[in-house]
Amino acid sequence: MAESIKGKRTLQRTIISITLVLLLSYIMLCGAAYFFSEKLIFPYKDSSYGPSLPGLIILKAKDGTPVAARYWKTHSADSLVILFHGNYEDLGHLDRIANTIMRAGFSLLAMDYRGYGLSKGTPTENNCYSDARMMLHKARALGYDDPNIILWGRSVGSGPATQLAIESNPRALVLESPFTTAFRTMTRIPLLPFDKFNNLEKMNKVTSPLLILHGTNDTIIPSWHSSRLIDRHRHAKSLHLIEGAGHNDLWTKALEPAFKKLNRLLERYDSSPRRLPEAR
């Protein structure tokens, strides 16, 4: 009898110890995610360009931080794509993308996140949103109204693009290799009580036409993320899966079918009633 009671107590102590270790590990994981996640989300190192980059514009953020942007003008275009690039890229890497978008009949405006290229400061989720709004103001100053602006977010750029789509009235939102949330790039379930760039939560607030491009062989952000996002969107939408494409080679594939889908969505938008942007 005594040995049985002793065994039960030992088992209870073991369970309590394991529970405490797991709880402590989870608290440490939450702390690491809270304090260091943005360094993992934005792993950029060295600029690929200098001050002589064609089309370079240096903007001043509300807090005075210089933010680098680049403008590619297509003279016959009346619509502008505002592009938010991936987390390993800067403005000097975008010529292939820019040339494809320009051949499709659009001008292009892109920015570097803080700490990227010639942009100063530190990249954070909130800074991305603030600087995205600045880009929209710049686009308007260049003569483009919201119904002539297409927001395009690649990978981590899907975060600021989606946020800006809620706050403005763009002609369309295009997401390329997007994630549902930043912390769920490798898991289908939320593991933490907070997250970064929660596109999934925001998607049902986006009323502009939505086109999502994703490679079927993307192992960095699997294509199920795009399926979840497209399901959440309630308005005109299209999911274009690019067979055999991964995360970083999508622009080497044939994208004519994707741009045809985009044009069909734009035709639907152009014939539909306009809406007012959501108050922020």
Q: Could you tell me which residues come within 8 angstroms of residue 234 by beta carbon, excluding any fewer than 6 positions away?
A: 204, 207
Token couple for 30: 């939450």
How far, in Å, CA of 115 to CA of 96, rounded?
Answer: 23
- Four-residue CA torsion sign, 263, 226, 44, 164: positive
**Residues 13, 18: Cα–Cα separation, whole Å:** 9
Question: Using CA atoms, how far apart are residues 118 and 226, in angstroms rounded to an integer?
Answer: 31
Catalytically active residues, by annotation = 155, 218, 247
Longest dimension (CA), the chain: 91
Residues 120/113, Cβ–Cβ less than 8 Å: no
Q: Which of 20, 3, 37, 31 is closest to 182 using CA atoms?
A: 37
The torsion angles phi and psi of 94, rounded to 5 degrees, stand at -100, 5
Contact 84, 155 (CB under 8 A): no
84, amino acid identity? F
Phi, psi of 95 (to 5 degrees): -65, -40
